[in-house]
Amino acid sequence: MYDYVTFERQYGSGGQEIATKLSERLGYKLYDRGVLVETCKRMDMDYAYIHELDETAPSKLFFRAPGSNLSLEEQIYNTEVEVIKEAAQSAGCIFVGRCASEVLKDKKVLRVFVTASEEYRLGRAVSVENIPKDKAEDEMRKVDKRREKFFVSHAGSNWKSPEYFDLIINSGSIGIDAAVDMLEKIIKG
């Protein structure tokens, strides 16, 4: 049995939905945007502002926060690491994004990457994320590029690497519910 599950996901792949349904089914605590909310509280910063910088690779030197040797993105990430480690003091957690798989690499964690075809992801971007059809492709590429740079920066591995992840799920091929069913069986052993 796995004590923790971490998800990295392509935009529109349904990774968030899979994680949410899995947490409900297993009774695991879900940490997704809540990590960011707690980070905002600890840093005494506005959610909308921090959200724009979340899962963003560190800036160049000239974008350092005043009075700090760390960029604001690095300060956000370091605070998120603290939040993730504190949450992981109790087993039975699912983390979405934020390189939690790297943060928890010394624990019994199932590292999952969720992908899907571009067509499937674009369809979900429009129908689930409510992105206008004419903007969905640009949004998908922008978010995926940002997530990939963030992951490479903090995990030092290829974002979609089969060597890094324990399981890569194509949600467009097997479906959201089948992915949840499969993960439940794997986690329960």
Q: Determine how many CB atoms are found less than 10 A away from the CB of residue 186.
A: 15
Instruction: Tell me which residue of 13, 22, 45 sits closest to 182, measured CA to CA.
Output: 22
Residues 119-176 have pLDDT tens digits of 999 999 999 999 999 999 999 999 999 999 999 988 988 898 899 999 999 999 999 9
At 178, which helix (H) or strand (E)? helix 176-188
Confidence (pLDDT) at 109:
96
Render 149-169 in DSSP notation, one character per residue. HHHHHHH-S-TT-TTT-SEEE
Confidence (pLDDT) at 56:
67
Residues 77-130 have pLDDT tens digits of 999 999 999 999 999 999 999 999 999 999 999 999 999 999 999 999 999 999
Over residues 8-31, mean pLDDT: 97
Q: Which two tokens stand for residue 150?
A: 């963030």
Residue 67, pLDDT above cutoff 70: no
Q: How many whole angstroms separate alpha carbon 93 and alpha carbon 34? A: 13
Q: How far is the CA of 140 from the CAs of 30, 33, 36, 91, 109, in angstroms?
A: 24, 19, 21, 33, 28
Angle formed by the axes of helices 176-188 and 15-26, nearest 10°: 50
Give me the torsion for CA of 149, 153, 159, 165, rounded to 10°.
-160
Helices (H) then strands (E): counts for the chain = 9, 5
Over residues 49-71, mean pLDDT: 64
pTM across the whole model = 0.90
Confidence (pLDDT) at 49:
77
Instruction: Tell me which residue of 31, 34, 52 sits closest to 42, measured CA to CA.
Output: 34
Q: Return the higher-pLDDT residue of 96 and 58.
A: 96
For residue 175, the Cα-to-chain-centroid distance in whole angstroms is 19
